[in-house]
Amino acid sequence: MIKIKKFTETDYEFEEIARIRNLINHDSIDHPDYDKDDWAMRDKSLIRDRLLLYDENKLIAILYYVQGREENKRTCFFNIVLDPSYNGNQYRETLYQQMLNQIKQFNCNKLYSNIYEHANYQNYQKLLINHNFKLVQTNREYSSDIRQINTKKYQSLIDKLESEGIKFYDSKYQMQEFPNHFQKLEELEWIIDQDVPIPDGMNHTRTPFNRWKKQCIDFYNDCYGVHIVAVQNGEYIGCTDIEVLPKAEPHKGWTGTLGVIRKFRRRGIAIALKIKAIEGLLKKGVTEVRTDNEENNPMYKINVELGFKAVPFSLEYMKGI
Ligand SMILES: CC(C)(COP(=O)(O)OP(=O)(O)OC[C@H]1O[C@@H](n2cnc3c(N)ncnc32)[C@H](O)[C@@H]1OP(=O)(O)O)[C@@H](O)C(=O)NCCC(=O)NCCS
């Protein structure tokens, strides 16, 4: 008997969700504790839920959805993960239809989902295409064995930038006592974020400061890889953040964002930030870094220059309803 049940936030559910996700993940490993932390940290002002599909008492699929923030408040971000041994039974469709019913509560008019260009996601991609979702953004995905990167080659660039008054600091260990550190960092991240390409029809939205700060402290405490900030005369001008999830994959760093404010671009600051971050990660025993960027973003040239290797692309799909 197949049945959709309500998500009740039990440890058993978090463990089972990680088990199902790990049947699909092609280059990452989920650990239930991180999912549990994310759920506890979620912004409760946004409508968010999970639909769990059971075969008798065995979890076989999950649909996640969350309402967007502010200008995106009528957009629903969702994803479906199904145990592959249950493919071919329309189970994703069952969950999708249930979600369509539930998201009427926020007057949803747009749906967004994403996949990787990898065999494990092909059945889900078919569902999106059958429902007339359109491909709206393609992202290059990269991985690097950072032990192979010749960081010394870039020392003269870093020396040159430092001689021009641009200093590179580790945000967690060197900057927390700087005047207005958190305000300046949030402002910098918001300026950069607005320049990161997103699909037409989506809006960049600013996370309220207190919430942003809570997430930043959580990053410092639970999944800190490294966070390098470039500073000139007290002005924060560029940064990159990389997470490491020690309970899941302690050897691997996941890049969040890397950006430089406009008037400082094309001086090598992005490369320097990346090299500083890699040096910091190597000291902690991290050996691999994953990153991604929209296919035409110049960031890919930097990744290629550093020897990052392409791994399956990620594809973003959208549909108006
Ligand atoms: C992408 C970004 C970080 C580059 O920062 P930057 O400090 O200007 O980059 P660098 O000076 O280190 O550039 C190194 C090389 O990358 C390439 N590059 C960087 N920006 C480029 C651009 N706009 N057009 C073409 N090539 C570019 C060039 O090969 C450049 O070398 P060159 O200047 O000698 O030709 C910056 O444009 C940015 O912040 N963009 C918005 C945020 C974003 O999209 N981040 C990436 C996704 S998270």
pLDDT digits (tens, 9 = 90+) for 65-102: 999 999 999 999 999 999 999 999 999 999 999 999 99
The predicted structure's pLDDT at residue 265:
98
Provide the percentage of residues in the chain whose pLDDT is more than 90: 100
- Calculate how far, in angstroms, residue 298's C-alpha sits from the geometric centre of ligand 1: 5
Mean pLDDT for the stretch of residues 109-122: 98
Specify if 321 maps to a domain: no
The predicted structure's pLDDT at residue 89:
96
What are the counts of helices (DSSP H) followed by strands (DSSP E) for the chain?
Answer: 10, 12
Whether residues 280 and 146 fall in one domain = yes
The predicted structure's pLDDT at residue 252:
98
pLDDT band (50, 70, 90) for residue 217: very high
The predicted structure's pLDDT at residue 239:
98
Taking CA atoms only, the protein residue closest to ligand 1 atom 48 is: 257
**What average pLDDT does the chain have?**
97
Taking CA atoms only, the protein residue closest to ligand 1 atom 19 is: 298
The predicted structure's pLDDT at residue 183:
98
Mean pLDDT for the stretch of residues 138-156: 98
Taking CA atoms only, the protein residue closest to ligand 1 atom 15 is: 302
What's the domain count of the chain? Answer: 2
Within the chain, where are the H helices?
11-24, 32-41, 91-102, 122-130, 155-163, 171-174, 181-193, 209-222, 269-283, 299-305
Angstrom distance (rounded) from CA 284 to CA 143 = 18
Whether residues 173 and 279 fall in one domain = yes
**Amino acid letter for position 286:** V
193-204 pLDDT, tens digit each: 999 999 999 999
Specify if 100 maps to a domain: yes
The predicted structure's pLDDT at residue 96:
98
Instruction: Identify the domain containing residue 34 by its residue range.
Output: 2-131
Specify if 8 maps to a domain: yes
Mean pLDDT for the stretch of residues 2-13: 97
Specify if 137 maps to a domain: no
- Calculate how far, in angstroms, residue 144's C-alpha sits from the geometric centre of ligand 1: 19
The predicted structure's pLDDT at residue 77:
98
CATH number for the domain spanning 30: value is 3.40.630.30
Whether residues 117 and 146 fall in one domain = no
Mean pLDDT for the stretch of residues 236-240: 98
Mean pLDDT for the stretch of residues 179-189: 98
The predicted structure's pLDDT at residue 68:
98
Whether residues 110 and 259 fall in one domain = no
Whether residues 311 and 219 fall in one domain = yes
Specify if 272 maps to a domain: yes
Taking CA atoms only, the protein residue closest to ligand 1 atom 26 is: 298
Question: Count of alpha carbons within 13 Å of 52, Cβ hemisphere only?
Answer: 20
Whether residues 172 and 305 fall in one domain = yes
Whether residues 215 and 279 fall in one domain = yes
Specify if 136 maps to a domain: no
* Strand pairing report for 48-55 and 58-67: antiparallel
Choose one of 168, 204, 266 to mutate for the ligand 1 pocket test, by most ligand atoms within 8 angstroms of C-beta.
Answer: 266
The pocket around ligand 1, CB under 6 angstroms, is made up of 192, 195-196, 257-260, 265-271, 293, 297-299, 301-302
- Calculate how far, in angstroms, residue 258's C-alpha sits from the geometric centre of ligand 1: 10
